[in-house]
Structure 1
Amino acid sequence: MIQKTVVPHVAYNEVSIKNFDTLYSTILENVSKSNYIAVDTEFTGHCKRIVKNMEQRYDALAVVVKSHAIVSFGMTTLQELPSESNMAVYGAQNFEFLTSNQDTFQVDPGNLKFLAENGLDFNRHFQFGLPYHAGTHAVTSQRDIRSLWRDLLFTIRKNNIPIIVHNGLLDLMYIYQSFFAELPASLSIFVADLVEMFPSGIYDTKYLANQVLSEQKSYLAYLYCKYDRSRQQLTPGSSVATGNFAVRVGDPLVGSTVTTPLKRTADESVPLSQGSKRRMRAKKLNGLNKTPSIICHNYSNYGWCKSGKECLSSHDLDLILDKDQGIKREKEQTEVEVKEEEVGEEEIRETEEQDKAPSIEPNQRRDHAAHYDAFMTAFVFCHQASELGPVALKENINKINLMRLRIPLRVVKSHYSKPSSAWSSVRDKIWKPDNDD
């Protein structure tokens, strides 16, 4: 049977109104011990038209960001652990913050369909999401998601912690608009604000993949699965390790809501009708007869397909990697002719479990989520850091990937642009306690 690569099943801490106050200090303590922090966001809209002029592109992106909303964001903290070998070992904690914009906002049906197909529970989002008001607001002493982000920035600055994103311009814009202030009027002012917000720098794993390591393809799931496949070849039987590094996911924090994959036991199986059995057999036969020649071209190259899970071609990353790496499947894996009666009941059930739309519960697996993407971004960065070494890595800090352009957005100080007044007001409140020492 052809094995399918899926996103990692890693433990994570779900943060919502149910446990926000309990976890607030623990989250900050965890961040303070970290060497790197990876972030990712899920939102209700993106810019469909990408222009090359960066000022015009920023203006178009800002319109979308101001009118749409973040529904969740993921964060993975990486702490370097002692190691008796030359291998760099990182301890990881994964978080997903459910958020709920309290203002009127727009949604892109395509974005919502994608999120729904990949398991986002909108009922849970609206019921338990951390409330926030986007844009510029007076800084208060209230403990909420905006105050958490202010405390995160204070901790990041105090402990000299870089952040990691993957193709992160839109993520950074959404975070800015949602939790700090109204986006500045120009790209240059936004960049000046980012320089102050993240003084220890920003790494973009997509830029590193494209322009530094010259990866053939650079979408996140592809990079993760490629590096994870390498890990399995180098260190069979290990948990999450490859080359000169290892990532160890820590136990969930006390008080967190943790989601883990649910697997239906034999006692919980639902009897299949004869019609269901025939449909499952058909799916099984079709699956066994798939070959790399029917791989979805768009998904293979870009990690995205407008048909989503309704696409008739394969989105299987194992098949895609096999094709890219010149690995030929054995004949019985790609061209098997199976008679209907030879497909067993157990295999039918397995196919049914893979293909059916799950009923979403807090502790069920999701194929795409902010915490998964943050973890994969962190994992990819660890691989890239081990490949590049500290000198080359540092040379490529503060370079944000720009779609359809070979040059990055450089997050550096400029003599021609000053930080915005809105950010400056927030900054003075955040950094006043340490007296700029």
Structure 2
Amino acid sequence: MTSSMVVPVIDVQNDNFKELWPAMVLAIKTASFIALDTELSGLGNRKALLAECIEDRYKAICNAARTRSVLSLGFACYKKLENKDDDTYLVQVYNLTLLCSEEYVIEPQSVQFLVQHGFDFNKQYAEGVPYLRGNDRGVDAHGMNIRMLFVELLRARKPLVLHNGLIDMVFLYQCFYAQLPDKLGTFTADLSQMFPAGIYDTKYATEYELRFAASYLEYAYKKCKLDNSKSIEAGGGGRHLFLEFCNYSGPLSNYVDYRPCLAGFSPDGLLNVCQRFSAYGWCPNGSQCPLSHDTDLIIQHDEKKKKRKRKRKNSSQGKVEGAPESKQPHMELKQNQVIPDKDTKPPPVTELVDGAQAQGPESDEKMKTKVEEGNGVREPQAVSIDEEMKTDKEEVERNGVSEPQPLATPDAKKEESKRKKLEGGTHRAGFDAFMTGYIFSYAATLTERVGKPPSTESWLPECLNKVYLSGKSVPMHIVKSTFSKSFKAHLHKMDVVWGKGVVSKVEGTV
């Protein structure tokens, strides 16, 4: 059903950074919005990242950002083409390989995960763009470097789009902007000034606006792509999303990594779906798992479940199903829960009252309930940390119910392996930024607000400046409180961005 496309991703490293500088800055300045993603060297204490108190959670992320580093930065510039009848964007994607020039912690667990998904550490240490964390030092605020590229991003005043973006924002601030403030309120106050056009989190949008069965990045992207294709094929009114890419030629073509996004063609019913991967976008067995990690097949099964549920409801109630009920809010994670490492075994399968199978509880997951749409039946759900906060596992709302499926055949497993190899792994910063931008632009088409100036109307009003918080029923709001003052380092940095004294005249310091 979905159409294939090839996404050109420009690889940027130290030897071509200055050559590509004009193109990157132009893409940023002319974009309608910019999607970002990072790959990190680690996150430290996973339990602290899910602290019940958000202030404590912020402190744990700050500690990670001050001691660890950004290994790669991806950004995708989406430019709305006004001369098109439909919602068409010109997309430019960049993947920057970075190298922190001072000591930093690198976690074997994160390294292993990144290597499995194609990250080249030899390339990083040989050709990574150098940078220093914290406040500007000497020439940091001048010339063509990663910190000044971040300044150009701020000067552009474009909406910033991330997926599960709290950790990304903390690392971006510490690594490319200034020393992090100690208080969360100060941090959010600074962000509201840094990005006046707004910050959007596509994980929040996926959970609370699109209401997909899962919200990890690859699932959300492919579900948006599938729904958009269905809408186009069905014809009729409404908005549809179309993308265009630049044709790179000459020396620039040597830096382009063409990433194929293949159309979903999984053989119907030939493979068992890995329930852990289906729920979280992560499996401790990785490529050795005997079950399918094919996201297209997972979505296919979810679509079937949804149709059967609708059919059962209609037959039992004798009427057409209406709008879905509101989702049950996330419950708090317990303080004594332990976030497992990658060696944790998958949860055992337990039996529900109706005979369906579901994931059993384990130490790193909090069982919660959600009112099933239409029938009011409550089933257990598991909540865990998000994709090891971008490098490990993804926390999502899922019902975890599996169904009898035919065993995987050798040919089918071989075909899936071949496809995954051709398609390339996700969790590459540049391509992840592209997927993040796609989700946002598709969600915006549904609101019929795309193409209007962001200064007069928000792209996604219900998602503006709301950042997803794992295990919480409400998002983190990016606003300046009347009780918060901007950080001194931030005020100094804003002088660099906007000119001396522009912000300092109206702000206090802490």
| Aligned counterparts of 1:211 and 1:114: Cα–Cα separation in 2 | 29
Question: Which amino acid is the alignment partner of residue 142 of structure 1?
Answer: G
2:225 maps to which of 228, 236, 241: 228
* Number of the residue aligned with 1:97: 96
Distance 1:192 1:18, change over 3 A: same
* Number of the residue aligned with 2:438: 379
Map 1:325-340 → 2, pairs under 5 A? 325-326=303-304, 335=406
Question: Which amino acid is the alignment partner of residue 65 of structure 1?
Answer: A
Aligned: 1:77 with 2:144 = no
Is the CA contact (8 Å cut-off) linking 1:289 and 1:336 kept in structure 2? no
Is the CA contact (8 Å cut-off) linking 1:295 and 1:319 kept in structure 2? yes
Q: Point out which structure has higher relative CO (alpha carbons under 8 A, 6+ apart).
A: 1
Is the CA contact (8 Å cut-off) linking 1:99 and 1:132 kept in structure 2? yes
* Number of the residue aligned with 2:484: 417
* Number of the residue aligned with 1:311: 289
Distance 1:309 1:39, change over 3 A: same
Question: Which amino acid is the alignment partner of residue 69 of structure 1?
Answer: S
Aligned: 1:11 with 2:8 = yes
* Number of the residue aligned with 1:146: 147
Question: Which amino acid is the alignment partner of residue 101 of structure 1?
Answer: C
Distance 1:355 1:30, change over 3 A: closer
Distance 1:10 1:414, change over 3 A: same
Aligned: 1:393 with 2:460 = yes
| Aligned counterparts of 1:288 and 1:72: Cα–Cα separation in 2 | 35
Is the CA contact (8 Å cut-off) linking 2:42 and 2:64 kept in structure 1? yes
Shift of 1:21: 0.8
| Aligned counterparts of 1:382 and 1:206: Cα–Cα separation in 2 | 13
Could you tell which deviates more after superposition, 308-317 or 161-170?
308-317
Shift of 1:25: 2.0
* Number of the residue aligned with 2:68: 68
Shift of 1:106: 0.9
Map 1:224-373 → 2, pairs under 5 A? 224-235=221-232, 243-252=239-248, 255-256=251-252, 257-260=255-258, 291=270, 294-326=272-304, 335=406, 353=418, 365-373=424-432
Is the CA contact (8 Å cut-off) linking 1:6 and 1:367 kept in structure 2? no
Distance 1:394 1:248, change over 3 A: same
SS of the equivalent of 2:123 reads: helix
Q: Structure 2 regions of 5+ residues with no counterpart?
A: 261-265, 307-404, 450-457, 504-510
SS of the equivalent of 1:13 reads: strand
User: In the TM superposition, what whole-angstrom CA distance separates every residue of 1:325-366 from its partner, at most 9, and x where no partner exists?
Assistant: 1179xxxxx75998x9xx7xxx9996775588x9xxxxx955
Distance 1:352 1:192, change over 3 A: closer
Is the CA contact (8 Å cut-off) linking 2:232 and 2:240 kept in structure 1? no
Question: Which amino acid is the alignment partner of residue 39 of structure 2?
Answer: E
TM-score (norm 1): 0.79
Question: Which amino acid is the alignment partner of residue 386 of structure 1?
Answer: T
Q: Structure 1 regions of 5+ residues with no counterpart?
A: 263-286, 329-333, 359-363
Question: Which amino acid is the alignment partner of residue 54 of structure 2?
Answer: M
Is the CA contact (8 Å cut-off) linking 1:44 and 1:108 kept in structure 2? yes
Distance 1:150 1:219, change over 3 A: same
| Aligned counterparts of 1:182 and 1:425: Cα–Cα separation in 2 | 11
Question: Which amino acid is the alignment partner of residue 150 of structure 2?
Answer: W
| Aligned counterparts of 1:349 and 1:206: Cα–Cα separation in 2 | 32
Question: Which amino acid is the alignment partner of residue 447 of structure 2?
Answer: L
Distance 1:223 1:151, change over 3 A: same
| Aligned counterparts of 2:208 and 2:229: Cα–Cα separation in 1 | 26
Could you tell which deviates more after superposition, 220-229 or 427-436?
427-436
Map 1:400-411 → 2, pairs under 5 A? 400-411=467-478
Number of residue pairs matched by the alignment: 383
Map 1:37-76 → 2, pairs under 5 A? 37-46=34-43, 47-49=45-47, 50-76=50-76
Is the CA contact (8 Å cut-off) linking 1:7 and 1:367 kept in structure 2? no
* Number of the residue aligned with 1:36: 33
Is the CA contact (8 Å cut-off) linking 1:260 and 1:365 kept in structure 2? no
Is the CA contact (8 Å cut-off) linking 2:7 and 2:259 kept in structure 1? no
User: In the TM superposition, what whole-angstrom CA distance separates every residue of 1:188-212 from its partner, at most 9, and x where no partner exists?
Assistant: 1111111111111101111111122
Shift of 1:174: 0.9
Question: Which amino acid is the alignment partner of residue 176 of structure 2?
Answer: F
Distance 1:429 1:101, change over 3 A: same
Question: Which amino acid is the alignment partner of residue 281 of structure 2?
Answer: G
2:161 maps to which of 154, 160, 164: 164
Is the CA contact (8 Å cut-off) linking 1:93 and 1:252 kept in structure 2? no
| Aligned counterparts of 1:214 and 1:327: Cα–Cα separation in 2 | 15
Shift of 1:229: 1.8
Shift of 1:142: 3.2
Distance 1:413 1:288, change over 3 A: closer
| Aligned counterparts of 1:109 and 1:314: Cα–Cα separation in 2 | 26
SS of the equivalent of 2:76 reads: strand
Distance 1:32 1:323, change over 3 A: same
Question: Which amino acid is the alignment partner of residue 46 of structure 2?
Answer: K
* Number of the residue aligned with 1:119: 118
Shift of 1:19: 1.1
Is the CA contact (8 Å cut-off) linking 1:89 and 1:246 kept in structure 2? yes
Percentage of pairs with the same residue: 30
Distance 1:310 1:7, change over 3 A: farther
